[in-house]
């Protein structure tokens, strides 16, 4: 049976995807360099329960150092989740990490993918950050990307590279533009993780700007389902899909919901607007519904409840 590769297997979405693939009986090669963008112990914890799984192999290495021709010999799907994430750290000195891990690393895999005889699908994890401050809400895939952060620039460049390799060499690429994914194992630099941890620590949570910004939030199991659909749907190859939670929510409303879940008021500390943050995001997901048969299942309240339970166990 052909194997699946998940890059960034120790990460937030990658570890959930790996779990699901193994539950479905697939053989999975997980690749992760466990870099120190955030606490590596968290990533190791994400996949610790898999270390003795007979159908899981973990390769701990940087993507650009691996022999991808050899790796892809008997692989039918690559789920390329690994990336240098985070909008705010992508300015200044940190930028080189973004070009290396988002653009160069992707190119290395694509270069081998064009010769991989058994490769049926290359699913690329993209981001709503490619849209920047989109003027059309909800935003559809046909809108011209206009990133407002260096991070968004590097993810868009990688996505465009994928498309070039698809058009010129037939690499069977699909792109998923995630809109703010949340849930258990969420990275510690992401808002909900920070907010819930602040509640535990009895501290005020930092709010960038006025709190009236809106986001389309996507629960992690819905992001995983989108990956599986992208790997299997016959009409998905060469296409780009928005993956969003299906409802746009104002940040201040989210905080109210969180207060109800934790059963106490949450102190807020308003700070200046963050560089590179889009003011509003909202996904038009009709294309994914139609071509992937994909539909988000988890409501924000349910998803936040699951994340809160996980945060309490974690700390």
For the segment 256-307, what is each residue's pLDDT rounded down to a tens digit? 999 999 999 999 999 888 788 888 999 999 999 999 999 999 999 999 999 9
Residue located via tokens 């991070």: 151
* Residue among 85, 130, 304, 128 nearest 214 (CA): 128
CA distance 251 to 310: 21
For the segment 155-209, what is each residue's pLDDT rounded down to a tens digit? 999 999 999 999 999 999 999 999 999 999 999 999 999 999 999 999 999 898 8
What lies within 8 Å, CB to CB, of 254 at 6+ separation is 215, 217, 300, 304
Any idea where the domains of the chain sit in the sequence? Answer: 3-186+219-244+282-296
For the segment 237-261, what is each residue's pLDDT rounded down to a tens digit? 999 999 999 888 999 999 999 999 9
* Residue among 181, 66, 173 nearest 127 (CA): 181
Structure tokens at 9: 């297997």
Which one is catalytic: 37, 79, 98, 151?
151
Q: How much is the pTM?
A: 0.97
| Integer angstrom CA distances of residue 114 from 122, 134, 159 | 10, 33, 15
Write down the pLDDT at residue 247. 82
For the segment 130-153, what is each residue's pLDDT rounded down to a tens digit? 999 988 899 999 999 999 999 999
Average pLDDT value for the chain: 96
The CATH class of 3-186+219-244+282-296 is alpha beta
Specify whether 37 is catalytic: no
What lies within 8 Å, CB to CB, of 228 at 6+ separation is 20, 21
Is the predicted pLDDT of residue 1 greater than 80, yes or no?
A: no
Q: What is the CA radius of gyration of the chain?
A: 19
| Beta strand pairing call for 121-127 and 173-178 | parallel
């Amino acid at each position: 049976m052909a194997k699946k590769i998940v890059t960034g297997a120790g990460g937030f979405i990658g570890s959930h995807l790996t779990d699901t693939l193994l539950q479905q009986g697939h053989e999975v090669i997980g690749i992760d360099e466990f870099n120190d963008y955030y606490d590596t112990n968290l990533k190791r914890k994400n996949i610790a329960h898999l270390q003795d799984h007979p159908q899981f192999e973990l390769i701990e290495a940087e993507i650009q150092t691996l022999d991808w021709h050899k790796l892809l010999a008997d692989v039918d799907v690559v789920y390329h989740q690994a990336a240098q994430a985070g909008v705010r750290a992508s300015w200044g000195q940190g930028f080189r990490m973004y070009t290396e891990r988002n653009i160069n690393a992707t190119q290395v895999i694509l270069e081998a993918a064009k010769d991989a005889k058994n490769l049926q699908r290359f699913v690329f994890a993209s981001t709503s950050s490619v849209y920047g401050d989109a003027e059309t809400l909800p935003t559809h895939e046909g809108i011209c990307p206009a990133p407002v952060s260096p991070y968004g620039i590097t993810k868009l460049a990688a996505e465009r590279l994928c498309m070039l390799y698809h058009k010129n060499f037939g690499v069977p690429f699909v792109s998923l533009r995630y809109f703010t994914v949340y849930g258990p194992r969420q990275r510690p630099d992401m808002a909900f993780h920070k907010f819930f941890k602040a509640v535990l620590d009895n501290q005020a949570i930092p709010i960038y700007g006025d709190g009236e910004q809106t986001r389309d939030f996507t629960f992690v199991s819905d992001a995983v389902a989108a990956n599986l659909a992208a790997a299997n749907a016959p009409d998905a190859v060469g296409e780009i899909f928005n993956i969003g939670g299906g409802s746009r929510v104002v940040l201040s409303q989210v905080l109210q919901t969180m207060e109800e879940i934790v059963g106490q008021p949450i102190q807020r500390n308003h700070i200046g607007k963050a560089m590179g943050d889009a003011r509003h995001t909202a996904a038009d997901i009709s294309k994914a519904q139609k071509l992937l048969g994909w539909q988000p299942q988890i409501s924000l309240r349910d998803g936040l409840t699951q994340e809160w339970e996980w945060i309490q166990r974690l700390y």
